[in-house]
Amino acid sequence: MRPSLWIILPDSPTTRRAVDSYAVPHVRRVLTGLLCLLSAAAWAGPAPQADPDNAQQVQRGKHIYQRFCALCHGVDLQGQPNWRQRKADGKLPAPPHDASGHTWHHPDAMLFGIIKQGLVPPYAPPDYATDMPAWGDTLRDTDIWAVLAYIKSRWSAETRKMQQELANEAATQALP
């Protein structure tokens, strides 16, 4: 006689069915997998984001921006002069991150990807010539989100609203 495992099925608390011993390892695997997924989801917490209203994140972002970004993008986010005209080497100067630039035209996820991975596909055409480095090996994800929070904190409420509307529109168009 094979041993059985008795379980209560969710469709009725009084219904019991025997599961043969050959099924027990499969049930254990499924339950272990579900437990791992739930644990990972709980540990990961909410998805990181750039919150321009979070004073702590903004202050951290300001410090990181001043150390890593200001050299090219300007202490006051003003960018380099003539940022829309290619230099002799064919590269564009660093754009401003204030409202006069185009940073606010892009969703946070895209900005995050550009900072982390650089101007490579899908953020730029293949072989795009740029001085913008990929910061993913230098900055942690939370650092990048903090920089974005700092940049966004310098925008007006209207600019933030327009950026959110553009991001929502892009997300809607991306749906199948």
Give 81-111 pLDDT, tens digit per residue. Answer: 999 999 999 999 999 999 999 999 999 999 9
Q: Is residue 50, in this structure, part of any structural domain at all?
A: no
Separation of alpha carbons 71 and 64, rounded Å: 12
Of residues 150 and 30, which shows the higher confidence score? 150
Q: Is residue 8, in this structure, part of any structural domain at all?
A: yes
Verify that 69 and 137 share a domain, yes or no. yes
Q: Please write the tens of the pLDDT for every residue from 57-69.
A: 999 999 999 999 9
Verify that 15 and 62 share a domain, yes or no. no
Tell me which residue range forms the domain holding 23: 4-44
Verify that 98 and 129 share a domain, yes or no. yes
Q: Is residue 169, in this structure, part of any structural domain at all?
A: yes
- pTM equals 0.72
Q: Please write the tens of the pLDDT for every residue from 10-67.
A: 444 444 444 444 444 443 443 334 333 333 333 344 467 999 999 999 999 999 999 9
20 phi, psi to nearest 5 deg: -60, 155
Give residue 175's pLDDT band: very low, low, confident or very high (50, 70, 90).
low
Q: Is residue 49, in this structure, part of any structural domain at all?
A: no
